[in-house]
Structure 1
Amino acid sequence: MNSPWLACVAGSIVLWVSFGVRQTIGIFLLPLSNDLNYSRSQFSIAAALLQLLWGVCQPFIVYIGERKIGFGKTIFISCLVYAASSFTMYGSLASNPSVFIFAAALQGISAGGNSFPIVLASLSQRIPGGKYKSIAFGMVSSFGSFGQCCFLPMGRAMISAIGWRWTFLIFGIMMAVCSPMAMFLQTIPPPPSRSTTLSPPSNDKIADEKTMTPYDEEKIIRPKTEAVFETEEKKVPTVNQDDLGFREVLKQAFTSPTYILITLGFSVCGFHVAFLSTHLPAYLVDHDIDSSLAAWVISVIGLGSMFGTMAVGFICTRIKPKYVLSTIYIGRAIILAIFFWVPISLATVFVFSVIFGFLWLSTVPATTKFVGDLFGQKYLGTLTSITFIGHQIGAFCGAYIGGLVYDSMQNYTRLFYSSIALAIFAAVANLLARDNQPKTKQVI
């Protein structure tokens, strides 16, 4: 159960199914609206609530997993709740708009227990070393993108063959089937940490050390402390971030301008992802692109994102995450501007999908490593979940405002301009974020 390899496989499966299912919401907009006479704003509020509650509830769910019942039970229960909401709500009662919106909200709540922060936090307990952590984060996160690549064309084909109601039910069954993978992602107790208390050596120890040979001295495990030189004479050792309590870590995060800038930048990522996954298929259909090809566009974005997250996980072992994130957001701004201003054709659509896909979820491993480098690994799940609130607030705005703007103006022009401006803002925010660890001093 403590195997890092099996944990990576189990985490990949959970993210493949859970993220893939959630990213199919956009392909249901037109068939469901046509069948039930929903407006795009009605559908958008359901999709937006899923995104918002996913982010708002996730820190509390991850906190329960970290501090109360463990990661494994949290992932297992959330998968079953997600499946149950599909069975009971989407399958037979979705004709009522209020029931449909409630079901989307319930899925958003349960999504907080099987998403990136809790899976990556579980992996962090098993994988030693910053380099291997970063690579594992990128590899496992890429399966969320792979799920998007697989489930979108699968969902489109199922909607055409058996209808949108049965498609929702089958996706719920798949969530239930992957829930046993949680047994390989259970919380494991941390290894006993060596004491760093500075105490005078005993007389026996002094006598023993006087008779030691140089070879014997190499065997002594001495506590490692980092020092901050305030003056030439006075040294004050700093405390390891993983030795701090939960409240101290939260206080550091909430009072850190860097953490706020990271969260603001991540909210822009959520805006882009939700806006495009919810409205890009309809936007392409409005521009005379076949609906089946429009679904494939989001799938190709997911395939590109799979390679992007793996590449960024490796790149972050060599380049600071702040520079990687700034580059990603600048790239998004450029690609969005070109896509919007160049006439739409199949060639431009698929070129956009491949390039933007590389930047789609590549922010996840970089943001996770950035937060872990600053505040340690002990409460990484909770801290990344809090940044994910910002991500999902942005996702709520991208999904819901997109529907409102379309219903009022019959186009998405202002949404594309907003997306470009926000990408530039996120690049600047990450560039201004300081990447040095907060200095917490130990009182002697």
Structure 2
Amino acid sequence: MQEQNEPMSLNQRLIRSPVMACVAGCAILWVSFGIRQTFGVFLIPITTETGWPRSTYSIAAALLQLLWGFSQPFLVFLAERKVGFGKTIFVSSIIYAVGCFILYASGKSAGLFVFAMGAVIGISAGGNSFPNVLASVGRRFPQGSKHQSIAFGIVSSFGSFGQCCFLPIARAFLISIGWRMTFIVFGASFCYTYNAYLSVFTGLHCVFMVALSPLAYYLQTLPPIPALPQKNDEEEIVIDEKKQNINQAEVSQQEEVQYRPLEDISAPDIKTALKEAFTSSTFIFITLGFSVCGFHIAFLSTHLPAYLQDNGINSSLAAWTISILGLGSMIGTISTGYLSTIFLPKYVLMGIYGLRAILIVIIVFIPISVTTVMVFSVFFGFLWLSTVPPTTKFVGDVFGHKYLGTLTSITFVGHQIGSFMGAYIGGVVYDKTHSYNRMWYGSIAMAAFGIAVNFLAAVEPMNKVRARRQVKIEN
């Protein structure tokens, strides 16, 4: 055991460094999330070559989303309480690569294809996604601090940046080597090329994949840094005098959370934390609201390129729309991370879903053209993954940060149930009606639902709920 006065080595300082953790988290989400968001551009090439209906591809994409969500709480629990975040992320990345090889070998076997994309890649995705990465990064900042919230936004934004980068790469690979070899390239750590142009892209991608796993080393599990110290006595006296002149109910919940120690909010153990979450209407409302985000993202990432091609938009531009969504999402996630330090996260989420509804109305009721597609992609991009920072902060403000990874992974199950519905129902609706119109109407209704459940979610921290329950028991 290291002596208290002994200086830390460079490696130890890097492991504990919040900057290094952010760099590692950004790189991991950039590659892992970016590649997963390319699967929508494969829908038409694969169904055309194999003769499968779109619902077959949709069920594979939908199972990926569903198993991604359901595996995540177990993998996050494993990371948080057992083996650590770094090892979990590393092993998950290896399993993901295996899934890509199975996709290559699937041929025209729909069952093997669904197994590879839905089960293998879906389960592995739960290990190197947002909850594990953000929970590890968040432990290196004071809990509930403004710096932590901004870090959540910056790290989350690189998932969107990966989406922006890998969509054009996937499109280039599809044209040059076909969908099977593209999956090999996305899963392999070696370079398989046909021309010099492709060699550059593939070689770069191999570097990224090789760099991904070692970076997980800098996301090892560390004890969370306590919340910022409470205000000094003079500040507390001034605040107490002001509070005497105003209604206690008008005091900002967010200000209270900012200065409350971590132990006062978080449950004493994981069993209590889970019990409190599952019996809390606030946690249920947060999860339901997050499912709306999943519905929108999975429907658009899986079916938007095909929808645009069906309406006469060039396939290259249709693929670029997902990249534009990812580019805009970089700005959106950073912005909502910052806005969540100013406004309560519930109001930030309500604003996001309200703006989504407006943009979906535009794409549905205004004739499709290059202009409308670009406007929709740019502005919807700001809202693409922008729900992640406020949702993470919402859970942390109410339930504390001690078990934030586990609790946010459970909310992500709701997100992925919505994703399953968005990806699968979109394919079924198209096969039956040869149109996506009903899915667009459903997306508008889901946005309204997201506004409603976030409005109903309370912001009272759990330590107050526990205190009130204790008083009732004693009385």
Does TM, normalized by the shorter one, top 0.5? yes
Letter of the 1:435 counterpart? V
Alpha-carbon deviation of 1:189? 3.2
Cα deviation for residue 243 of structure 1 reads: 5.4
- Of the structure 1 ranges 354-363 and 126-135, higher mean CA displacement relative to structure 2 is found in 126-135
TM alignment of 1:137-148, pairs within 5 A: 137-148=152-163
Report the Cα distance in structure 1 between the residues aligned to 2:154 and 2:211, rounded to whole angstroms.
Answer: 22
Counterpart secondary structure, 1:240: helix
Deviation at 1:165, TM superposition (A): 1.1
Q: 2:84, 2:221 within 8 Å by CA — same for their partners in 1?
A: yes
1:232 is matched with: none
Could you say which residue in structure 2 is the equivalent of 1:163?
178
Q: Give 1:34 shift.
A: 1.2
Runs of 4+ in 1 over 6 A off after TM superposition: none
Residue 211 of structure 1: aligned partner = none
State whether structure 2 residue 310 is matched by structure 1 residue 286.
yes
Distance 1:169 1:257, change over 3 A: same
The yes-or-no answer on 1:313 pairing with 2:337 is: yes
Kindly name which structure, 1 or 2, has the bigger radius of gyration based on alpha carbons.
1
1:34 aligned onto 2:48: yes
Instruction: Decide whether aligned partners of structure 1 residues 410 and 244 sit closer, same or farther in structure 2, where only a CA change above 3 A counts.
Output: same
Paired with 1:150 and 1:83, the residues of 2 have a C-alpha distance of 19
Does 1:92 find its partner at 2:105? Answer: yes
Unaligned runs of at least 5 residues, structure 1 = 194-216, 219-228, 230-236
1:358 aligns with 2:372: no
In the alignment, what sits opposite 2:68?
Answer: 54
2:217 to 183, 189, 194: 183
RMSD after superposition:
2.0
The equivalent of 1:44 in structure 2 is: 58
1:417-442 alpha-carbon deviations (Å, 9 max, x no partner): 00001101101110111111022237
CA apart distance, 1:190: 4.4
2:31 alignment partner in structure 1: 17
Q: How far apart, CA to CA, are the structure 2 residues paired with 1:321 and 1:191?
A: 22
Distance 2:456 2:225 in 1: 36
- Tell me which of 440, 459, 469 is aligned to 1:416: 440
Distance 1:238 1:69, change over 3 A: closer
Counterpart of 2:282 in structure 1: which amino acid?
A: T
Greater shift after overlay, 25-34 or 183-192?
A: 183-192
Shift of 1:267: 0.2
Report the alpha carbon displacement of residue 192 of structure 1 after superposing the two structures with TM: 9.1
Secondary structure of the residue that 2:363 maps to in structure 1?
helix
Alignment CA distance shift 1:309-1:192 (3 Å) = closer
CA deviation string 1:389-422 (max 9, x = no partner):
0000000000000000000000011100000011
For the 8 Å contact 2:142–2:226, the answer to whether it is kept is no
Looking at structure 2, the residues matched to 422 and 182 of structure 1 have their Cα atoms a distance apart, in angstroms, of 36
CA 370–284 in structure 1, closer or farther in 2 if over 3 Å, else same: same
Matched, 1:253 2:277: yes
The structure-2 alpha-carbon separation of the partners of 1:191 and 1:326, relative to structure 1 and needing over 3 Å to count, comes to closer
Measure, in 1, the Cα distance between the counterparts of 2:152 and 2:216. Answer: 17
- Give the aligned residue type for 1:156: R
Give SS of 1:244's match: coil
Which residue in 2 is equivalent to 1:102? 115
1:121-160 to 2 correspondence within 5 Å?
A: 121-129=135-143, 130-160=145-175
The unaligned stretches of length 5 or more in structure 2 are 1-14, 189-205, 228-232, 235-247, 249-260
3-state SS, counterpart of residue 139 of structure 2 = helix
Residues 324 and 191 from structure 1, CA distance in 2 versus in 1: closer, same or farther, beyond 3 angstroms?
closer
TM-score, structure 2 normalization: 0.82
Partner of 2:254: none
C-alpha distance 192-356 of structure 1, shift in aligned 2 (>3 A): closer
What is residue 201 of structure 2 aligned with on the other side?
none
Could you say what secondary structure the match of 1:360 adopts?
Answer: coil
C-alpha distance after superposition, 1:180-204 (max 9, x if no partner): 11000010134699xxxxxxxxxxx
Aligned to 1:370: 394
- The whole-number CA distance in structure 2 between the counterparts of 1:309 and 1:420 is 22
Is the 1:24–1:155 contact (alpha carbons within 8 Å) kept by the matching residues of 2? Answer: yes
Structure 2 distance, partners of 1:348, 1:106, is: 37
Q: Structure 1 residue aligned with 2:360, among 333, 336, 351?
A: 336
1:299 maps to a residue whose letter is S
**SS of match in other structure, 1:293:** helix
Q: Does 1:3 align with 2:17?
A: yes
Matches of 1:345 and 1:327, distance apart in 2: 27
TM-score, length of structure 1 as denominator length: 0.88
Q: How far is 1:238 from its partner?
A: 12
Query: Per-residue deviation at 1:38?
Result: 1.4
Q: Deviations over 1:347-404 (max 9, x none)?
A: 0000000000101100000100000111111110110000000000000000000000
Shift of 1:92: 2.1
CA–CA separation in structure 1 for the residues paired with 2:121 and 2:106: 15
User: How high is the sequence identity, in percent, across the aligned residues?
Assistant: 60
